[in-house]
């Protein structure tokens, strides 16, 4: 059994996700196992555009963006599960649902978020995942996420 890690740098992530600045919320994938798990990170800086208004005196990353970043991690895992090939431009994974979202800790400038997602099941292009956002070993957010594979007309 190999101990080699499957990683993705930002250049490879950009081949799989349609998101771009300021909405790309995954910086690197540290490891993944297709059909099972993915571990990604986001380095949070004061330069994030959302900190200008949320909140200027006490900057806190919006919880919905934690969920969006978790959904982006699930999309990467879904694509890597489907095939190791770069997907065609017209294939996307849409955020299809969320359940049991819980927020346990604020995320502030200087934090590094570890997103850990696990595939629970997939049927007919719809995947169900559980995810966690962890900062300094503490759970910041958790949720069940559904995403749906769709082909779009370009």
Q: Write the CATH number for 130.
A: 3.10.129.10
Could you tell me if residue 116 is inside a domain?
yes
The domain total for the chain is 1
Could you tell me if residue 77 is inside a domain?
yes
Q: How far apart are CA 107 and CA 97, in angstroms?
A: 23
Between the CA of residue 48 and those of 21, 22, 72, 116, what are the distances in Å?
10, 8, 17, 22
Per-residue pLDDT for 84 more than 80?
no
Mean pLDDT across 98-111: 98
Asked about 11 being catalytic, the answer comes back as: no
Residue span of the structural domain in which 60 resides: 10-151
* Options 11, 19, 39, 54, the catalytic residue: 54
Rounded to the nearest integer, the mean pLDDT of the chain is: 95
Mean pLDDT across 126-130: 96
Q: How far apart are CA 17 and CA 76, in angstroms?
A: 7
Could you tell me if residue 1 is inside a domain?
no
Percent of the chain at pLDDT exceeding 90: 87
Hey, is 82 helix, strand or coil?
Answer: helix
Q: How far apart are CA 76 and CA 41, in angstroms?
A: 13
């Amino acid at each position: 059994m190999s101990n080699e890690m499957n990683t993705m740098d930002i250049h490879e992530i950009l081949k799989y996700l349609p998101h771009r600045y300021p909405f790309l919320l995954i910086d690197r994938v540290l490891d993944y196992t297709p059909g099972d798990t993915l571990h990604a990170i986001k380095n949070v800086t004061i330069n994030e555009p959302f900190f200008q208004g949320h909140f200027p005196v006490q900057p806190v990353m919006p919880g919905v963006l934690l969920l969006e970043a978790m959904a982006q991690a699930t999309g990467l895992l879904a694509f890597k599960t489907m095939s190791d090939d770069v997907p065609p431009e017209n294939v996307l994974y849409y955020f299809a649902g969320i359940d049991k979202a819980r927020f346990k800790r604020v995320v502030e400038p200087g934090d590094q978020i570890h997103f850990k997602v696990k595939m629970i099941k997939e049927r007919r292009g719809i995947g169900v995942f559980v995810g966690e956002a962890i900062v300094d070993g503490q759970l910041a957010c958790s949720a069940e996420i559904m995403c749906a594979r769709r082909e779009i007309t370009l």
